[in-house]
């Protein structure tokens, strides 16, 4: 029997999942004696610390996190536009220069913001600029890629016309393409901002301030009541950013093609600049000029840690199996979440069941929001209470956090499907499950798989933020080397992470091509 490429892919995928679960192990996974501490954490949600002092601290931290996200997004936007011009074929032609720029742009995409921040504090200290660059550079690289694709995919008639009349490439792009893609650019900028909020929250952990910083401090002494106050602040911030982003990107958003955007961006940046007291001169201060080259000398050439290749290899394999299990968890819970928060397509409900639907949707959204607002390291600590240390708690933590993100993206993807197939199935008398199987899934599947594949690449990078859980892997190795201040070995692990991320990216492209 020969297999179609699609079936072969499914088979290989299944084998990989079985392998990963085998490596994680299935015996002795659940630790029931940790349940009481786990429950204590959730019970504390009902009694967050609402003292005036802590609330004012939380408000300030929330503002700082928001400001980091705004400034980081602004930098990402600048880098994104400049980078897009450098890697767009229409702006740069097809020469080696464009090719080189494209390769350069893949590297920052493969590095997690936390890692950038950890290295930057070695040079800049605990300066707000660390957070801005740590968000701005990796996000800028992704934005550049997306913007370049948009430029190269846009309707080319105006551009060709200008080119034919002897106009230079850049001018032709500016007048022939930019007006076409401006709305898309703004929409994507807001999506990045939404991600930047979550990123800024976690970034505080390296010590630059904001909610992550306070969260880490409250975590040191396990002050669950304070942790919940901070989590609620994160949910509010993250939920608001998501809502604004959805509104801007949705059909009912502002419709003048993004002309309002520069004003909003300028005000946001000005306020954020002031809020965190950003001082650009740290970039060329005497200390930076001394510490920067010093750090580079420490980082290069990359080295192996004391454990050699064996350690690096086994950590890499652990990380891969952790990611595979995490992707499965994220996709499963994300899909269930998306199904729960979906608005009914068929309006034949009585008032009572409409209320029921509304309730279900609100609760579902809150659960998804909680999943993505609680930072992954916090999830990791919680799951290590109830799952024995190893790959499982880390994978479940990463999975649940990403289920919150994926659930939201899945829901958007499903909602953008035309409702006719499902209506037809319903009219033919199909029940809920049949309607899903025949009316919803076939149309949405390619997009769902695409989203999952994109997110898997992110999850490869995120494995480094999972501490505590005893999962080993590259994250633990990286921490070992950082603690020993062995930056050559740190760079060694970073290179493996970059290779993994690039491999995941390439694999993603293969998967998408097979499924197309």
Partner 1 sequence: MSRTRRSASWRALIPLSLLALTAASCAGSDDSGSDEPPGSAAAETDGTSEPVEESESADESDSPVLHIGAIPDQEPERLQRTYGLLADHLEEELADDGFTTDVEYVPVTDYSGAVTGFVVGDLDAVWFGGLTGVQAQLEVEGAQAVAQRDIDEAFTSVFIAGADTGVETIDDVAGLAALEGQSFTFGSESSTSGRLMPQSFLAEAGIDPDEDFEGQPGFSGSHDATIELVAAGTYDVGALNSQVWDDRVADGTVDETAVVEVFRTPPYYDYHWVVQPDLDDEFGDGFTEAFTEAMTALDPDDPDDAEVLELFGAGAFIETENGNYAAIEAVGRDAGLIR
Site for partner 1 in 333-392 (CB under 8 A): 381, 384-385, 388-390
Nearest to 105 by CA among 134, 138, 130: 138
Only one of the segments 134-142, 156-164, 398-406, 471-479 lies at the binding site for partner 1 (rule: CB under 8 A); that segment is 471-479
Residue 315 and residue 476 in contact, taking contact as beta carbons nearer than 8 Å: yes
Contacts of 279 (CB under 8 A, 6+ apart): 127, 129
Site for partner 1 in 41-70 (CB under 8 A): 53, 56-57, 59-64, 66-67
DSSP one-letter string for 404-459 = HHHHHHHHHHHHTS-SHHHHHHHHTT--HHHIIIIIIHHHHHHHHHHHHHHHHHHH
Cα separation of 162 and 182, whole Å? 18
Question: Which part of the chain contacts partner 1 (CB under 8 A), choosing from 149-157, 236-244, 395-403, 495-503?
Answer: 236-244
Using rule CB under 8 A, residue 218 touches partner 1: yes
Residue 259 half-sphere exposure toward CB, CA atoms < 13 A? 4
Spell out, one character per residue from 250 to 279, where the chain touches partner 1: x when CB under 8 A holds, - when not: x-xxxx----x--xx--xx--x--xx-x-x
Least distance in Å: CB of 154 to partner 1?
A: 25
Q: Do 40 and 224 touch, CB atoms closer than 8 A?
A: yes
Indicate whether 238 belongs to the interface with partner 1 (CB under 8 A): no
Binding partner 1 by CB under 8 A: which of 103, 243, 424, 510?
243
Minimum CB separation from partner 1 for residue 403, in Å? 22
Binding partner 1 (rule: CB under 8 A), the pick from 98, 223, 360, 423 is 223
What track of x and - describes contact with partner 1 for positions 12 through 31 (by CB under 8 A)? Answer: -------------------x
* 514 neighbors 5 (Cβ within 8 angstroms): yes
Shortest Cβ distance from residue 83 to partner 1 (Å)?
Answer: 26
Q: How far from the centroid of its chain's Cα atoms is residue 419's Cα?
A: 29
CB 322 within 8 A of CB 463: yes
- Nearest CB to partner 1, comparing residues 38 and 175: 38
Q: How many residues does the chain have?
A: 516
Of residues 4 and 255, the one with the C-beta less far from partner 1: 255
Residue 287 in the binding site for partner 1 (CB under 8 A) = yes
The reply to whether 232 sits near partner 1 by the rule CB under 8 A is no
Number of H helices and number of E strands within the chain? 23, 0
Q: Please, are residues 41 and 382 in contact by the beta-carbon 8 Å criterion? A: yes
Does 4 bind partner 1 (CB under 8 A)? Our answer is no
- Write out the binding residues for partner 1, residues 474-493 only, by CB under 8 A: 476, 479-480, 482-486, 489
Closest CA to 77 of 129, 175, 154, 144: 144
Q: Note whether 135 binds partner 1 by CB under 8 A.
A: no
Q: How far is the CB of 513 from partner 1 (least distance, A)?
A: 34
Closest distance between partner 1 and the C-beta of residue 260, in Å?
6
For the chain, first and last CA: distance in Å? 23
Which region among 10-18, 235-243, 491-499, 504-512 touches partner 1 (by CB under 8 A)?
235-243
- Tell me: does residue 125 bind partner 1 (CB under 8 A): yes
Of 16, 17, 104, 121, the one binding partner 1 by CB under 8 A: 121
**Contact letters for partner 1, residues 389-428 (x by CB under 8 A):** xx--------------------------------------
Residue 350 CB neighbour total at 10 angstroms: 8
Q: CB neighbours (10 Å) of residue 477? A: 25
Residue whose CB is less far from partner 1, 70 or 426: 70
Choice from 246, 417, 449, 514 touching partner 1 (CB under 8 A): 246
Size of the site for partner 1 (CB under 8 A): 85
Alpha helices, H only, 125-277: 128-153, 157-164, 169-172, 178-203, 211-220, 224-249, 261-276
* Cα–Cα distance, 230 to 221 (Å, whole number): 15
* Residue whose CB is less far from partner 1, 425 or 471: 471
Distance of CA 418 to the CA centre of its chain: 27
Q: Closest distance between partner 1 and the C-beta of residue 302, in Å?
A: 14
Choice between 314 and 450, CB closer to partner 1: 314
Closer of 16 and 282 to partner 1 (Cβ): 282
């Amino acid at each position: 029997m020969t297999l179609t490429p699609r079936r072969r892919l499914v088979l290989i995928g299944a084998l990989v999942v079985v392998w990963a679960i085998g490596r994680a192990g299935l015996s002795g996974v659940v630790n029931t004696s940790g349940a009481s501490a786990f429950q204590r954490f959730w019970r504390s949600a009902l009694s967050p610390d609402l003292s005036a002092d802590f609330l004012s601290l939380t408000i300030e931290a929330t503002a700082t996190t928001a400001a980091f996200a705004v400034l980081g997004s602004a930098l990402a936007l600048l880098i994104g536009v400049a980078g897009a011009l450098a890697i767009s074929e229409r702006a740069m032609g097809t020469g080696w220069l464009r090719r080189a720029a494209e390769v350069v742009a893949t590297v920052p995409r493969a590095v997690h913001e936390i890692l950038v921040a950890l290295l930057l504090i070695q040079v800049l200290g605990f300066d707000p600029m660390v957070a801005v660059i740590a968000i701005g550079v990796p996000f800028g690289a992704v934005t550049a890629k997306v913007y370049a694709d948009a430029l190269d995919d846009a309707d080319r008639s105006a551009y060709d016309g200008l080119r034919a009349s002897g106009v230079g490439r850049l001018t032709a792009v500016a007048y022939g393409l930019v007006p076409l893609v401006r709305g898309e650019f703004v929409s994507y900028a807001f999506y990045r901002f939404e991600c930047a909020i979550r990123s800024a929250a976690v970034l505080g952990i390296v010590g630059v301030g904001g909610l992550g910083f306070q969260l880490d401090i409250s975590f040191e002494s396990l002050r669950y009541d304070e942790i919940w106050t901070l989590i609620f602040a994160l949910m509010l911030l993250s939920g608001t950013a998501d809502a604004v982003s959805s509104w801007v990107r949705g059909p009912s958003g502002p419709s003048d093609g993004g002309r309002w955007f520069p004003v909003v961006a300028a005000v946001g940046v000005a306020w954020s600049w002031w809020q965190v007291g950003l001082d650009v001169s740290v970039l060329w201060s005497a200390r930076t000029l001394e510490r920067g080259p010093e750090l580079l000398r420490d980082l290069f050439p990359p080295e192996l840690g004391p454990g050699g290749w064996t350690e690096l290899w086994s950590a890499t394999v652990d990380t891969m199996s952790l990611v595979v299990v995490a992707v499965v968890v994220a996709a499963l819970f994300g899909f269930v979440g998306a199904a729960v928060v979906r608005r009914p397509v068929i309006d034949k409900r009585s008032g009572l069941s409409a209320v029921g639907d509304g309730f279900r949707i609100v609760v579902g959204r809150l659960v998804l929001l909680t999943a993505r607002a609680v930072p992954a390291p916090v999830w990791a600590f919680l799951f290590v209470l109830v799952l024995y240390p190893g790959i499982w708690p880390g994978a479940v933590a990463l999975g649940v956090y990403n289920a919150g993100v994926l659930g939201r993206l899945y829901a958007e993807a499903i909602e953008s499907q035309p409702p006719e197939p499902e209506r037809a199935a319903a009219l033919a008398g199909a029940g809920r499950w049949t309607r899903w199987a025949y009316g919803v899934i076939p149309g949405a599947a390619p997009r769902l798989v695409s989203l999952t594949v994109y997110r898997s690449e992110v999850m490869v990078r995120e494995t480094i933020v999972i501490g505590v859980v005893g999962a080993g892997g590259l994250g633990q190795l990286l921490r070992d080397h950082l603690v020993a201040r062995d930056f050559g070995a740190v760079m060694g692990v970073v290179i493996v992470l970059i290779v993994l991320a690039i491999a995941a990216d390439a694999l993603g492209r293969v998967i998408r091509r097979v499924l197309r």
